[in-house]
Amino acid sequence: MKNLTGFSVIIPTYNRRENLKACLKSVQSLNFKNFEVIIVNDASTDGIKDYLDNLKDPTIKVIHNLVNSGQAVSRNEGAKMAKYDFIAFTDDDCLVNPQWLNELAKGFADPAVGFVFGATYYISRTYRGYFPERIVTNQNGRWPGSGNLAYRKEIFQKLGGFNSYFLKYNNEDSELAIRAVSQGIKYKRAPAAVIYHQKQFWNGKTLLNSARNQSLWPVMKKMYPHHYQTFKSPVFGGLLVSPQEYLYILFFPVFVCLLLIRYLLHGQKDLLIFFTKWPVWLILKRLCIYNEAFKNRVFLI
Question: Rounded to whole angstroms, how far apart are CA atoms 196 and 122?
Answer: 6
pLDDT the model gives residue 19 = 98
Decide which of 3 and 294 is more confident.
294
127-171 tens-digit pLDDT: 999 999 999 999 999 999 999 999 999 999 999 999 999 999 999
pLDDT interval class at 2 (50, 70, 90): low
Instruction: Provide CB contacts within 8 A for 71, sequence distance 6+.
Output: 12, 14, 42, 91, 146, 162, 167, 172
Other C-beta atoms lying within 10 Å of the C-beta of residue 160:
10
Cβ atoms 242, 214 nearer than 8 A:
yes
pLDDT (average), residues 59-72: 96
Average pLDDT (4-9) is 92
pTM for this entry = 0.95
Are the C-beta atoms of 148 and 119 separated by less than 8 Å? yes
Q: What percent of the chain has pLDDT over 70?
A: 99
- Average pLDDT value for residue range 84-113: 98
Confidence of residue 88 (pLDDT cuts 50, 70, 90): very high
pLDDT tens, residue by residue, 213-259? 999 999 999 999 999 999 999 999 999 999 999 999 999 999 999 99
In angstroms, the Cα distances linking 208 to 50, 72, 171, 198, 289 are 32, 21, 16, 21, 14
pLDDT at 216: 97
Architecture of 4-201 per CATH?
A: Alpha-Beta Complex (3.90)
Output the CA–CA distances (angstroms, integers) from residue 114 to 23, 44, 151, 255, in the order listed: 26, 32, 6, 43
- Phi/psi of residue 94, each to 5°? -120, 155
* CA nearest neighbour of 130 among 201, 45, 186, 188: 201
Residue 1: the pLDDT is 45
Domain residues of the chain, as ranges?
Answer: 4-201, 203-301
Mean per-residue pLDDT over the chain, rounded: 96
CA-to-CA distance for 213 and 270, rounded, in angstroms?
24
- Write out the DSSP string of 104-122: HHHHTSSTTEEEEEEEEEE
